Amino acid sequence: MSFPFVKGHGTHNDFVVLPDLDGSIHGDLEDAAVAAICDRRGGIGADGVLRVLRGGAAGGAGWFMDYRNADGSVSQMCGNGLRVFARYLEASGLVDPTALAGPLAVGTGDGIKQVTYCGDGEISVDMGAPKVGGPADVSVDGRRLVGSSVDMGNPHTVVVVDALEDAGELVASPISCVEQFPEGVNVEFVRVVGDRDLEMRVFERGVGETWSCGTGACAVVAAVASGSAVAGTGEAAPGQGTGSTPERPTTYAVGVRGGRLSVTWDVDGHLHLKGPAVLVATGTWTA
């Protein structure tokens, strides 16, 4: 079977975009097909797949992003992926030029998200309000660490560390509580660099360590800014929040291996993820 694809990335969190406007090309998009596409030696190679569908069932949005992790599993939301998805719509002429001046509604597994094309060439996504929960344990290389749970439409555990190297090699998936996270969890390791300046590493469920994670960047900002973040030892982390409602609007810079992202917590409690989105190649799958 042959089909067209586009390759893109957001801060080197890379994706294969599959145009499938009416859903007739890829059908149910089987796990094995996604895994083959994302295979970095036998396939195109990517952290995930973004299928582009018209949004008839997306609650009024004109487009729907069907996102899959590299192992084929469904993920409800991907912030970097949504920016790449929006860049594809723009570059392919699927969006009316007048729509580029205002927010564009895109359906996702976590509901409709508003995307804005910024004047500096970057793209911003209203990621909605985070749900900051209580403590969450993870085991990394046999070490028990305590983090903070944050829901960004997908589950996250945020662990504050003194140095990013403290996370170890991140080859094996961190072990989490099945009762708390029955479908697995994304784990972020964050270091507070300075005032509203963070850096992080991330292990994404269904993928492994990636160079960036948009929902993860939002999760670490939510944990640190709200004062709920804890160090891996379980002690209160040196954050920049009060443990209550943080000052808003407030913007954090989040450094990732693939670059830098900007996360703004607005007066309505929503997080806005801003960063680059780059398309690098087009081609045809022939395997």
Residue 266 has pLDDT above 90, yes or no: yes
Residue 26 has pLDDT above 80, yes or no: yes
Q: For the chain, what are the domain ranges?
A: 3-127+276-285, 131-269
Residue 234 has pLDDT above 60, yes or no: no
Separation between Cα atoms, residue 264 and residue 248, nearest integer Å: 9
Tell me which residues are annotated as active site: 78, 213
- Same fold: 3-127+276-285 with 131-269: yes
Residue with tokens 């359906």, as numbered in its chain = 107
Residue 280 C-alpha from the chain's centroid: 19
Separation between Cα atoms, residue 68 and residue 76, nearest integer Å: 9
**pLDDT digit string (tens) for 153-191?**
999 999 999 999 988 888 888 888 777 898 889 999 999
Minimal CA–CA distance to 260: which of 205, 181, 193, 173?
193
- Written as one letter, the residue type at 122 is E
Separation between Cα atoms, residue 59 and residue 111, nearest integer Å: 8
Q: What is the pLDDT of residue 238?
A: 47
**pLDDT digit string (tens) for 92-131?**
999 988 778 889 999 999 999 999 999 999 999 999 999 9
pTM of the model: 0.91
Q: What is the mean pLDDT of residues 61-77?
A: 95
Q: DSSP for the chain, please give it.
A: --EEEEEEEETTEEEEEEE-TTSTTTTT--HHHHHHHH-TTTSS--SEEEEEEE-TTTTT-SEEEEEEETTS-B-S--HHHHHHHHHHHHHTT-S-GGGGGS-EEEEETTEEEEEEE-TTS-EEEE----EEEEEEEEEETTEEEEEEEEESSSEEEEEE-SSGGGG----SPPEE-TTT-TT--EEEEEEEEETTEEEEEEEETTTEEES--HHHHHHHHHHHHHT--BBTTSSBP--S--SSSPPSSEEEEEEETTEEEEEEE-TTS-EEEEE--EEEEEEEE--
First and final CA of the chain: distance in angstroms?
A: 7
Q: 240 in the Ramachandran plot: left (φ > 0), alpha (ψ -120 to 50) or beta?
A: alpha
Residue 236 has pLDDT above 70, yes or no: no
CATH architecture of 3-127+276-285: Roll (3.10)
pLDDT, the chain, mean:
91
Third-level CATH fold of 131-269: Diaminopimelate Epimerase; Chain A, domain 1 (3.10.310)
